[in-house]
Amino acid sequence: MEIKVLGTGCAKCKSLEKATQEAVAKTGVEATITKVEDIVEIMNFNVMTTPALVIDGKIVVKGKVPTVDEIANFLTK
């Protein structure tokens, strides 16, 4: 599973990255987490509001920080 956290480095982006790491640890799924801070790369996903969470190429959240449990739910679907 490939997970990307899209965000320019703001506090919410860092919170999403941390929550994602916690959710991966909680669920035990095999995943690679990548932080994407380049604005051009973020825009390639058609994301205008950060933070955003991309799982296997699909945007599952944008513009907010979901809870660890919500992220865990996305990971196990």
Could you tell me if 52 and 63 are in contact, meaning their C-beta atoms sit under 8 angstroms apart? yes
Could you tell me if 40 and 68 are in contact, meaning their C-beta atoms sit under 8 angstroms apart? no
* Catalytic hit among 1, 10, 25, 48: 10
Reply yes or no on whether 13 is catalytic: yes
Find the length of the chain. Answer: 77
* Catalytic hit among 6, 13, 24, 42: 13
The single-letter DSSP state of residue 23 is H
Reply yes or no on whether 26 is catalytic: no
Nearest in space to 52 (alpha carbons), one of 73, 29, 35: 35
Which residues are the active-site residues?
A: 10, 13
